Amino acid sequence: MVGIIDDTCLHYTIGTRIKVGDNYGTVKYVGEVSGYNGIWLGVEWDDPQRGKHSGCHEGKNYFHTQYPNAGSFVRPGKVGPFESLEIAARERYLGYSAESSLDVSLIREAQQKMQASFFEVVGMDKIARKQSKFEQLSEVSVDNCPINEAGYLKDFQVLTTLNVSSTLIWNWKIVADICKQVPTLRDLNLSCNRLVLPTDSQIKELEPAFRNLQCLNLRNCGYNRWGNVTQTAKLWPNIEVLALQENPLTELDVVNCKEIFKNLKELDLHRTKIMDFDQICKLGNICTLKSLNLMENGIEEIKLPDCEPREKLKIFVALEQLNLLYNPIWNEADTFNELDKLSSLKRLNKSPHLKSDFDEMFSKAVGMISQLEMLNKIEVSAEARRDASYDIWKRYAMEWLQAADTPEILYDFYKKHRTYAQIIEKYGSPAEFVVRPKSKQSNLIKIRVYNQQSGEIWEKRVPRMITVQTLQGLIAKRFQTTSSSSSSLPQLSYIDAKYPELVVPMDNSAKTLDFYSVQDGDTVIVK
């Protein structure tokens, strides 16, 4: 029995990954189980509901699992076979089996020793053609294969991208062997594997093999402590893109950028359990980080450290792209005002609030984040920025006017609306805009209607409460001789007489002229 146990222990080292049917697990115990004959493997399953216990059987603790029903015992004979990366790649890309791969080696050896042309004529020409194509592969995907070792990989001469997700790779020594044999490898996908945490001595030994690696995907690899991530990250000194999505992380720590993440440009943390944005701020000292993905994390509020209204923060200094899609963020205006503190933010992804819509969110974001260039992949044009700024100028005009005479209150206003001072510098004080509607004498206003096609100008008195749609009908009737299509209503916008650089689209036909703040002397443009 001792000899059998020894053989089993050698074959199934603690930490070894196994697959039984469609279920993946990690070996946590090898040995006898009280009340049963033979040798058993104690397994912690990736699916926390797959097992029957937590490693405790009849009051005795054999191993421990993270979840209460993730453990069970299985016979070694139930475990599926293992294979090398080399064999898996040949089977997938060349149609070789393990036996045929061995036959190829024997043929080559025999050909060298015997110098037999028969082998060349019968089989080697076909093998050589296949082998040539194999050697030229730049991308290889062998996901869901029972790989637990590298094998011979010297034939991968130009391989840059490798997908070994959902395999049985279980330690970084195996990964280092792959990277060492394939120095051209730049992009590695290890998703859905469980890898043993490397020790400091192992890191020192294995780190040279990873120096060419730039992109690493560790999606759903069971990382539940940020310290385990930063310890492992010492292996990859030149990593630029790191994906950690779907790992159950809840807290982060400040990164020592003298040791790790010296060149990190993209970090994916979506579908983790990091709901507190204060945790995200701990990553702000990664001065090379350009892109951060925080999709679907349950974040409700964005709060950055405080700074002066005219200043930018000295954290996330290189961050250009931020993905906040599908987070239940409840206050859009506060969120965009906070994000204006980031000095380099240009591209933002965010879902509209339930009580908002995309157009309203777009206007707020563009008006409140001064350097924003793209929202949800829609570029911010000069016209869109002008319209959004004007909307912000009007929206907070009364609040600004009430604060203007008290420096302390005005300071707080500018902290709450960081871009407003710049907007005033560009468009002037909104004081007259706020006061003017209160002093109106008549329900009628006189507007100038300018037909861009014909150059004709029509002056007309209309009610303030007339809808845009009604005005469109009057204009279409007035200019019917020059309209290109009498069946469609013209598009309207207007120029404020006091601020002629502002052109405001009147794109909601159900709204009134009063809604758009059209006043005496303003010009309506007909397109």
The token pair that represents 104 in the structure block:
């190829």
pLDDT of 4 > 80? The answer is no
Question: Which SS3 state, helix, strand or coil, does residue 370 take?
Answer: coil
CA dist list (Å): 307 to 144, 303, 320, 341: 49, 12, 19, 8
Mean pLDDT of 500-509: 83
For residue 385, the 8-state DSSP code is: H
State percent of the chain over pLDDT 90. Answer: 67
Q: Is 132 exposed, middle or buried (0-12, 13-18, 19+ CB in 10 A)?
A: exposed
Structural domain includes residue 110: no
Mean pLDDT of 106-130: 48
* Together in a domain, 58 and 181: no
Work out the pLDDT band at 156, boundaries 50, 70, 90.
very high
Cβ atoms of residues 240 and 265 within 8 Å: yes
CA-to-CA distance for 509 and 472, rounded, in angstroms?
8
Residues facing residue 461 across a β-bridge: 446
Region for 521 from its dihedrals, namely left if φ exceeds 0, alpha if ψ lies in -120 to 50, beta otherwise: left
Structural domain includes residue 457: yes
Dihedral sign, Cα of residue 367, residue 370, residue 375, residue 378 = positive
Q: Quick: pLDDT tens for 317-369.
A: 999 999 999 999 999 999 999 999 999 999 999 999 877 789 999 999 999 99
Structural domain includes residue 319: yes
- pLDDT of 129 reads 59
Which residues constitute the domain of residue 41? 8-78
Work out the pLDDT band at 97, boundaries 50, 70, 90.
low
Q: Quick: pLDDT tens for 367-377.
A: 999 999 999 99
Q: How many CB atoms lie within 10 A of CB 232?
A: 20
- pLDDT of 428 reads 85
* Together in a domain, 378 and 405: no
CA-to-CA distance for 22 and 40, rounded, in angstroms?
20
Lowest pLDDT segment from 106-115, 138-147, 391-400 = 106-115
Domain count, the chain: 4
Residue entry with tokens 């409460």: 465
**Number of DSSP helices (H) and strands (E) in the chain, helices first:** 17, 24
Q: Is 206 exposed, middle or buried (0-12, 13-18, 19+ CB in 10 A)?
A: buried
Structural domain includes residue 358: yes
Residue type, 430: P
Q: Is 361 exposed, middle or buried (0-12, 13-18, 19+ CB in 10 A)?
A: buried
Phi, psi (deg, nearest 5) at residue 252? -120, 170
Residue 148 host element (H or E):
strand 147-149
Of 48, 78, 108, at which residue does a domain stop?
78
Dihedral sign, Cα of residue 396, residue 398, residue 400, residue 402 = negative
Question: Which SS3 state, helix, strand or coil, does residue 228 take?
Answer: helix
Q: Where are the alpha helices (DSSP H) in 94-171?
A: 98-114, 117-119, 125-135
* Together in a domain, 343 and 455: no
Cβ atoms of residues 76 and 11 within 8 Å: yes
pLDDT of 440 > 60? The answer is no
Residues facing residue 61 across a β-bridge: 56
- pLDDT of 507 reads 84
The beta strands (E) that lie in 168-281 are given as 187-189, 215-217, 241-243, 266-268
Residue type, 383: E
Q: Which CATH number do you get for residue 515?
A: 3.10.20.90
pLDDT of 101 > 90? The answer is no
Residue entry with tokens 């059998």: 4
Cβ atoms of residues 242 and 267 within 8 Å: yes
Q: Quick: pLDDT tens for 211-240.
A: 999 999 999 999 999 999 999 999 999 999
Work out the pLDDT band at 133, boundaries 50, 70, 90.
confident
- pLDDT of 484 reads 46
Structural domain includes residue 309: yes
Q: Which CATH number do you get for residue 323?
A: 3.80.10.10
- pLDDT of 355 reads 75
- pLDDT of 339 reads 98
- pLDDT of 427 reads 83
Lowest pLDDT segment from 145-154, 296-305, 426-435, 517-526 = 426-435
* Together in a domain, 169 and 270: yes
* Together in a domain, 452 and 515: yes
Instruction: Count how many residues are written for the chain.
Output: 527
Most confident segment among 45-59, 407-421, 490-504: 407-421
CA-to-CA distance for 178 and 165, rounded, in angstroms?
14
- Give the number of C-alpha atoms closer than 13 A to the C-alpha of residue 258, restricted to the C-beta side: 0
* Together in a domain, 400 and 357: no
- pLDDT of 481 reads 46
Query: 395 Cβ partners below 8 Å, 6+ apart?
Result: none
Residues facing residue 45 across a β-bridge: 25
Residues facing residue 243 across a β-bridge: 217, 268
* Together in a domain, 349 and 311: yes
- pLDDT of 208 reads 98
- pLDDT of 437 reads 46
CA dist list (Å): 322 to 253, 254, 294, 384, 402: 20, 19, 8, 21, 35
Q: Which CATH number do you get for residue 19?
A: 2.30.30.190
Q: Is the pTM of this model over 0.85?
A: no
Cβ atoms of residues 32 and 26 within 8 Å: no
* Together in a domain, 50 and 193: no
Q: How many CB atoms lie within 10 A of CB 504?
A: 21
* Together in a domain, 248 and 369: yes
Work out the pLDDT band at 502, boundaries 50, 70, 90.
confident
Cβ atoms of residues 224 and 248 within 8 Å: yes
Q: How many CB atoms lie within 10 A of CB 383?
A: 10
pLDDT of 80 > 90? The answer is no
Work out the pLDDT band at 131, boundaries 50, 70, 90.
low
Of 383, 398, 417, at which residue does a domain stop?
383
* Together in a domain, 65 and 139: no
User: Concatenated DSSP letters for 288-350?
Assistant: T--EEE-TTS-----------TT---SSSTT--EEE-TT-----HHHHHHHHTT-SS--EEE-
Sheet of strand 40-45, all strands in order from the earlier edge strand to the far edge: 17-20, 23-31, 40-45, 71-74
* Together in a domain, 168 and 304: yes
Question: Which SS3 state, helix, strand or coil, does residue 282 take?
Answer: coil
Give CA torsion, residues 196, 249, 222, 350, to 10 deg.
Answer: -130
Q: Report the mean per-residue pLDDT for the chain.
A: 88
pLDDT of 102 > 60? The answer is no
- pLDDT of 410 reads 95
pLDDT of 460 > 50? The answer is yes
- pLDDT of 351 reads 95
Structural domain includes residue 117: no
Q: Where are the alpha helices (DSSP H) in 154-263?
A: 172-181, 200-206, 226-232
- pLDDT of 124 reads 47
Structural domain includes residue 463: yes
* Together in a domain, 166 and 260: yes
Structural domain includes residue 258: yes
